[in-house]
């Protein structure tokens, strides 16, 4: 392993698991989430000579992974919708809170990404917007709609006073 | 449990279940990355080779077309009324380019109103006699005469011209073609007839 690969390995160990976990909350499939994260890191490696000079290469790879995950989830939603009458959608088992995971899975992929970045990574709206390559206003709308929908699905009241029913 | 807390706790618990095999994933990432890097280098080299091949194959026809292209815009009215006509001279120069192209002898040169230049040459001269053009701007005269063979240059020559009492003279301004310089500047040209 040469110096470049050693340097890359360092950021890989720092960021891979976190990126894969965020992708998992968008995709709801562990293997696919890891594959998406790996694809994002492969792109990072190919462009490492340039991106290693960025202030935060980790943000670059996270943005790529989120974009890939959202696209994959969008394709998957279409595929599932088309095949729903043939085979019912399969959910990953052994979730701590299966209702919560089902509710998140019911969200559009962009909203899933927004809630994952907000509740899992604890990021403010401005950073969510940067990572999702959208405006802060759009990110805020994604979060608002996601919260409203989750409250409805989970029969709970969200903290902004919106009643589930 | 409030929604915000349920979401935060639930997502963090779910995400924590994901524990990727980092060494295996890193190895696969590096392997794939190296392969793509090599492919990218190959594509770059291929694109470079394609450009070179294109230049080699298409370059000569393009250069030839440029060489045969007219010198420029049609001549100005001043030039057409003043320079238009035919002129004659005898080339006796012993310049190397003159002897090499067997240019010694009687020459006539015709300046058409449409910017076409024609020459009548000594019988010994074997170069191309037609397909040339000229342009006059004020006292500047530009021509691609002999560009097809004797000159072997894309660049037209530039001269200063002067017509006094039927005697036309050219003074070299800029021309890298010795044969053309010798023909135009060795002696003055006598007007034969206006065209």
Which two tokens mark B112? 């058409």
Could you tell me how many residues make up chain A?
165
pLDDT score recorded for residue B153: 65
CB contact under 8 A, B20 and A104: no
B38 CB within 8 Å of a chain A CB: no
Is 0.80 topped by the overall pTM?
Answer: no
List CB contacts (< 8 A) between A150 and chain B: 3, 7
If you average pLDDT over every residue of chain A, what do you get? 86
Tell me the shortest Cα–Cα distance from B48 to chain A, in angstroms: 20
CB A12 within 8 A of CB B22: yes
Closest chain A residue to B39 measured between Cα atoms? A46
A154 CB within 8 Å of a chain B CB: yes
CB contact under 8 A, B36 and A119: no
Tens-digit pLDDT profile for residues B124-170: 888 777 778 888 888 889 998 887 777 876 678 999 998 888 889 99
Tell whether the model's pLDDT for residue A159 goes beyond 80: no
Tens-digit pLDDT profile for residues A140-151: 999 999 999 999
Predicted ipTM? 0.80
If you average pLDDT over every residue of chain B, what do you get? 83
Beta bridge partners of B162: B169
Tell me the shortest Cα–Cα distance from B47 to chain A, in angstroms: 19
Tell me the shortest Cα–Cα distance from A134 to chain B, in angstroms: 23
DSSP string, B132-168: EEEEEETTEEEE-TTTTTTS--SSPEEEEEEEETTEE
Closest chain A residue to B19 measured between Cα atoms? A17
């Amino acid at each position: 392993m040469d110096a470049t690969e050693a340097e890359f390995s360092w950021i890989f160990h720092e960021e891979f698991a976190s990126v894969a976990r965020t992708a998992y909350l968008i995709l709801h499939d562990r293997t696919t989430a890891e594959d998406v994260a790996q694809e994002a890191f492969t792109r990072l490696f190919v462009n490492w000579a340039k991106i290693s000079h960025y202030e935060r290469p980790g943000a670059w790879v996270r943005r790529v992974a989120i974009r890939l995950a959202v696209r994959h989830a969008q394709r998957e939603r279409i595929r599932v919708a088309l095949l729903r009458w043939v085979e019912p959608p399969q959910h990953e088992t052994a979730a701590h809170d299966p209702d919560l995971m089902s509710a998140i899975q019911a969200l559009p992929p962009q909203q899933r990404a927004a809630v994952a970045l907000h509740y899992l990574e604890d990021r403010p709206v401005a950073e969510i917007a940067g990572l999702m390559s959208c405006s802060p206003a759009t990110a805020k709308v994604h979060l608002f709609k996601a919260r409203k929908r989750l409250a409805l699905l989970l029969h709970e009241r969200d903290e902004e006073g919106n009643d589930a029913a | 449990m409030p929604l915000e807390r349920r979401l935060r706790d639930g997502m963090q618990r779910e995400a924590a279940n994901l524990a990727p095999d980092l060494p295996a994933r890193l190895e696969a990432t590096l392997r794939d990355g190296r392969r793509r890097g090599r492919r990218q280098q190959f594509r770059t080299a291929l694109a470079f080779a394609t450009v070179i091949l294109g230049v080699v194959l298409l370059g000569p026809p393009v250069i030839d077309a440029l060489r045969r292209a007219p010198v420029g815009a049609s001549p100005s009215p001043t030039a057409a009324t003043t320079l238009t006509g035919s002129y004659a001279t005898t080339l006796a120069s012993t310049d190397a380019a003159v002897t090499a192209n067997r240019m010694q002898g009687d020459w006539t040169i015709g300046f058409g109103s449409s910017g076409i230049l024609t020459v009548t040459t000594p019988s010994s001269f074997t170069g191309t006699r037609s397909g040339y053009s000229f342009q006059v701007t004020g006292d500047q005269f530009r021509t691609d005469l002999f560009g097809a063979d004797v000159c072997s240059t894309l660049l037209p020559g530039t001269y200063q011209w002067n017509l006094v009492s039927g005697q036309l003279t050219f003074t070299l301004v800029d021309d890298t073609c010795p044969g053309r310089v010798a023909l135009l500047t060795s002696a003055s040209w006598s007007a034969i007839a206006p065209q």
